[in-house]
Amino acid sequence: MAMSFIRKLMLSSLIVLIPFAASAQTFVFTAIPDEDESKLVERFRGIADYLQQELDVEVKYIPVKSYAAAISAFRNNQVQLAWFGGLSGVQARELVPGSQAIAQGVEDQAFFNYFIAHKSTGLERSETLPEEVRGKTFTFGSKGSTSGRLIPEYHIRTIFNEAPEDVFSRVGFSGNHTRTLRLVEAGTYEVGAINYAVWEKELEDGNINTDDVKVIWKTPAYPNYQWTIRGDIDERYGDGFMDKVREALLAMDDPALLESFPRSGFIPTSNENYEPIRTVAEQIGILD
């Protein structure tokens, strides 16, 4: 009995090691998890259907749990296209030589952030980040986020000349923008930094109680989200595939799809447009 049990165990462990079959020619993409997952899944399933129609290959979207997971999947060639933020795009393109930023939203040329505050702080909108935020509790979005981490941290450091941990009494990472909004609205954190697009969309959809949470500062503009594609894509899917993907993204005009981002349309972009983001990331030590 012992032997047969051991034999069965060993046999089953062999089976595990047999590589799993996967359809090789599926074009897979992912996106950084910057908002509620159900919203992302709905949005990007729509994009997958659209791309499948335009590109004549099977297209699949896989949801991931962190910004790093999106970058790793792109780097490991398990996804070939990704909707990155400014910072994650810079990180990913550095890790995958030849990869290209091919399209950005019209709004992403000059993206900005809101600093928001709970009503209990009594803070009102002003021209800069007011000194009164000192000593309050503060939440970023995700650790690897441009609008949730990099840009707010940069401005906090520039305005106060101190690290965020020294300015605020407690610094947290909510995980994503929707969560930042909910946490500040509930007062868990007194102040937070949020991507303006998420704020505006939630406001429009009536999901924000503006008595409880207010915008207190709008940051200067910076380049943000973009579609980044691997450089070796043509070798795998045939010549001209990268151009086809770019054209498909730029030609996207379905109002429902665009509204889900929300972007008014997509325009061409290039790696160089994101140099300012790299500079900032190096300054605050996120990039070497």
Q: Which residues in this chain contact other proteins in the complex, by CB under 8 A?
A: 1-3, 5-6, 8-13, 15-17, 19-22, 24, 28, 36-38, 62, 64-69, 71-73, 75-79, 91, 95, 118, 120, 137, 142-144, 170, 172-173, 175-176, 178-179, 182-183, 186-189, 286-288
Q: Of 107 and 202, which has the nearer Cβ to other proteins? A: 202
**What sign for the dihedral angle of Cα 71, 76, 77, 78?**
negative
Q: Is the peptide bond before 262 cis (omega within 30 degrees of 0)?
A: yes
Q: How many CB atoms lie within 10 A of CB 31?
A: 25
Beta bridge partners of 65: none
> Which two structure tokens, joined as six digits, stand for 107?
């709004």
Q: Of 3 and 256, which has the nearer Cβ to other proteins? A: 3
Q: Are the CB atoms for 171 and 133 separated by under 8 Å?
A: no
CA-wise closest residue to 221 among 117, 129, 108: 108
Which residues have CB under 8 Å from 176's CB, separation 6+?
A: 33, 34, 35, 36, 141, 142, 145, 148
Q: Of 37 and 259, which has the nearer Cβ to other proteins? A: 37
Tell the smallest beta-carbon distance from residue 25 to other proteins (Å): 11
Tell the smallest beta-carbon distance from residue 210 to other proteins (Å): 17
Q: Of 103 and 181, which has the nearer Cβ to other proteins? A: 181
Tell the smallest beta-carbon distance from residue 128 to other proteins (Å): 26
Tell the smallest beta-carbon distance from residue 270 to other proteins (Å): 22
Tell the smallest beta-carbon distance from residue 264 to other proteins (Å): 27
Q: Which amino acid is at 17?
A: L
Tell the smallest beta-carbon distance from residue 288 to other proteins (Å): 6
Q: Of 16 and 256, which has the nearer Cβ to other proteins? A: 16
Q: Of 164 and 187, which has the nearer Cβ to other proteins? A: 187
Instruction: Give the DSSP letter string of 200-268.
Output: HHHHHTT---TTTEEEEEEPPPB---EEEE-TTHHHHH-TTHHHHHHHHHHT---HHHHHHTT-S-EEE
